[in-house]
Structure 1
Amino acid sequence: MRIVLPGGTGHIGTFLSSALVADGHEVVVVSRGAPRLPAGVRGVRWDGRTLGAWAAELDGCDAVINLAGRSVSCRYTDANLREMLSSRVATTRLVGTAIARAAQPPPVWLQMSTATIYAHTYGPPHDESGELGGAEPDAPAYWSYSVRIAREWEAAQSAADAPATRKVALRTAIVLSAVPGGAFTLLSRLARLGLGGPVAGGRQYVSWLHESDFVAAVRFLLARPDIAGPVNLAAPNPLPHRDFMRALRRAWHVPFGLPATRWMAELGAFALRSDTELLLKSRRVIPRRLPEAGFDFAHPDWPAAARELVARARVSR
Structure 2
Amino acid sequence: MAEVDGADAVINLAGRSVGCRYTEDNLRDMMNSRVDSARVIGQAIAEAERPPAVWLQMSTATIYAHRFDAANDERTGIIGGTEPDVPDYWAFSVDIARTWEAEQEHADTPYTRRVALRTAMVMSPGRGGVYRVLRGLARLGLGGTVAGGRQYVSWIHDQDLIRAVLFLLDHPELSGPVNLAAPNPLPHAEFMRVLRRACGRPFGLPATRWMAELGAFALRADTELLLKSRRVVPTRLLEAGFRFAFPDWAVAAAELESRARGGSQGSSKVESPNSCQR
Moved more, 128-137 or 284-293: 128-137
d(CA) in 2 for partners of 1:278, 1:292: 28
2:134 aligned to which of 165, 173, 187: 187
In the alignment, is the contact (CA less than 8 A) between 1:108 and 1:222 conserved in 2? yes
Root-mean-square deviation over aligned CA pairs: 0.8
Query: Unaligned stretches of 5+ in structure 1?
Result: 1-54
1:301 aligned to which of 248, 253, 270: 248
- Which residue pairs with 2:80 in the alignment? 133
Q: Which has the higher contact order (CA 8 A, sep 6+)?
A: 2
Matched, 1:145 2:92: yes
d(CA) in 1 for partners of 2:104, 2:163: 23
- Which residue pairs with 1:30 in the alignment? none
Question: How far does residue 83 in structure 1 lie from its aligned partner after superposition?
Answer: 1.1
Question: How far does residue 78 in structure 1 lie from its aligned partner after superposition?
Answer: 1.0
2:46 aligned to which of 100, 104, 116: 100
- Which residue pairs with 2:147 in the alignment? 200
- Which residue pairs with 1:118 in the alignment? 64
- Which residue pairs with 1:47 in the alignment? none
- Which residue pairs with 2:269 in the alignment? none
Q: How many residues align?
A: 263
1:270 aligned to which of 203, 212, 217: 217
d(CA) in 2 for partners of 1:255, 1:96: 49
Matched, 1:292 2:239: yes
Matched, 1:244 2:191: yes
Question: How far does residue 136 in structure 1 lie from its aligned partner after superposition?
Answer: 2.0
In the alignment, is the contact (CA less than 8 A) between 1:135 and 1:143 conserved in 2? no
d(CA) in 2 for partners of 1:179, 1:107: 32
Using the size of structure 1 for normalisation, the TM-score is 0.82
d(CA) in 2 for partners of 1:255, 1:206: 20
In the alignment, is the contact (CA less than 8 A) between 1:135 and 1:141 conserved in 2? no
d(CA) in 1 for partners of 2:82, 2:166: 35
In the alignment, is the contact (CA less than 8 A) between 1:247 and 1:306 conserved in 2? yes
Question: How far does residue 284 in structure 1 lie from its aligned partner after superposition?
Answer: 0.3
d(CA) in 2 for partners of 1:221, 1:107: 12
3-state DSSP of counterpart to 1:170? strand
d(CA) in 2 for partners of 1:219, 1:179: 21
Q: Identity of counterpart residues, as a percentage?
A: 68
| Structure 1: 4+ residue segments shifted above 2 A | 178-181
d(CA) in 1 for partners of 2:9, 2:137: 38
Question: How far does residue 179 in structure 1 lie from its aligned partner after superposition?
Answer: 2.5
